[in-house]
Structures are given as structure tokens and as C-alpha cells.
């Protein structure tokens, strides 16, 4: 068996850890019949998911000859599956981070939009307060001139138009040109 020449063919991503344990032999026993336990674990340091540490190592037990014959046939598929899983777990974590960033960008845009609406509302409220003060002292023409621009405050376009009509009616009363 050419163990090290067969490893690259598995295309595993990560570190392969192999631990062997030999059972003690009775004096004079045949060493080729010694029972072995081989534990094989794949660790991918690039995978940041803590669940990756929950993957148990694969364990083979038998004589050296039995393990030589079965090692790659029994372990190739599970190790390749584990390697693919670890890569997928890392890809998943990266996609979650990307989603968080995108979500933060969406929240930032939403906050900017809210700030702009708040700024427009404050600007509108300040202008309408000035209009009300002028209207209360009978300066209807001046109050009409202080109305906020409907193009600058599209959310309040209807209210501005109503107030303008109301003020124009008030300052035209008693005029030769009044309606």
C-alpha cells in the first residue's frame, strides 16, 4: 500500500490527524496479528463554525493487514463528505456575515431616510409656526409669503395649498379685486 501517494487523491481540505493505538502483545505472539485501533479526524482551521468541533473522528479496528486493506476504501467517502461539510459551514458563516452587513446597510439607509423626513417635518413646522404668528396679527399677505415651498416639502403639498388658498382669501377680503 502506498499510503502517502493515495492521500492527495482524496482532495481533502484541512489537516488529517491519524492516531494509532496498539494493543499489547503476549510474549511470543505474531506481531502481524496485533490488534490496532486507528482514529482519523479531519480539521479545517478555516472553518470558524464551532459545530465543526462536534464531528467525531472515524475509528477503525483490526490487525495491521486488515486496516491496510480497508483504510482508503472505508474512509475515503466519509472524509470527503466531512471536508465538503466543513467548507460549506465556512461558506455559510461568510454568507451570514454578508447578510448582516447588507442588513446594516439597509438600516443605515432607512435611518438616513427617517432623518431626512424628520428634518423636513421640523422645517415645515417652523415655517408654519411663523405663518400662524403672522396670520394671528392680521398680516395675511406676509403670512402667505412665508409659506414653505411645496416642492421642498412634498409630504405637505396639500396642506400648503389649502393654507395658501385660505390666506389669499383673507388678504383679498375688502379689496377692490376680491373674489
What is residue 174's predicted lDDT score, i.e. its pLDDT?
Answer: 59
Query: Can you give the residue ranges of every domain in the chain?
Result: 3-94, 105-172
Reported as a single tens digit per residue, the pLDDT across 55-64 is: 999 999 998 8
Model confidence band, residue 37 (pLDDT cutoffs 50, 70, 90): very high
> Is the confidence at residue 10, as pLDDT, over 50?
yes
Percentage of residues in the chain having pLDDT higher than 70: 96
What is residue 74's predicted lDDT score, i.e. its pLDDT?
Answer: 85
What is residue 40's predicted lDDT score, i.e. its pLDDT?
Answer: 92
> Is the confidence at residue 51, as pLDDT, over 90?
no
Provide the 8-state DSSP code for 24: P
Long-range contacts of 161-167 (CB under 8 A, 24+ apart): 163/128, 163/131, 167/131, 167/135, 167/140, 167/141, 167/143
DSSP per residue, 97-108? HHHHHHHHHHHH
What is residue 179's predicted lDDT score, i.e. its pLDDT?
Answer: 45
- For residues 101 and 92, which has the higher predicted lDDT (pLDDT)? 92
Detail the DSSP E strand segments found in 58-174. 58-62
For residues 49-78, give the mean pLDDT: 87
Model confidence band, residue 175 (pLDDT cutoffs 50, 70, 90): low
Reported as a single tens digit per residue, the pLDDT across 111-161 is: 888 898 888 889 889 989 998 998 888 888 888 888 888 888 888 889 888
For residues 40-62, give the mean pLDDT: 89
Amino acid at each position: 500500500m502506498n499510503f502517502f501517494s493515495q492521500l492527495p487523491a482524496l482532495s481533502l481540505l484541512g489537516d488529517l490527524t491519524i492516531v494509532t493505538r496498539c494493543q499489547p502483545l503476549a510474549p511470543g505472539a505474531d506481531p502481524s496479528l496485533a490488534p490496532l485501533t486507528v482514529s482519523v479526524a479531519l480539521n479545517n482551521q478555516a472553518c470558524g463554525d464551532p459545530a465543526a468541533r462536534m464531528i467525531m473522528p472515524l475509528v477503525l479496528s483490526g490487525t495491521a493487514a486488515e486496516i491496510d486493506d480497508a483504510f482508503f476504501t472505508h474512509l475515503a467517502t466519509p472524509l470527503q463528505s466531512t471536508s465538503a461539510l466543513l467548507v460549506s459551514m465556512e461558506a455559510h458563516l461568510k454568507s451570514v456575515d454578508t447578510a448582516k452587513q447588507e442588513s446594516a446597510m439597509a438600516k443605515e439607509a432607512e435611518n438616513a431616510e427617517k432623518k431626512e423626513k424628520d428634518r423636513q417635518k421640523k422645517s415645515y413646522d417652523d415655517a408654519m409656526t411663523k405663518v400662524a404668528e403672522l396670520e394671528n396679527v392680521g398680516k395675511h399677505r406676509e403670512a402667505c409669503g412665508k409659506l414653505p415651498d411645496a416642492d421642498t416639502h412634498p409630504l405637505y403639498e396639500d396642506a400648503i395649498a389649502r393654507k395658501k388658498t385660505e390666506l389669499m382669501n383673507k388678504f383679498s377680503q375688502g379689496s377692490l379685486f376680491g373674489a
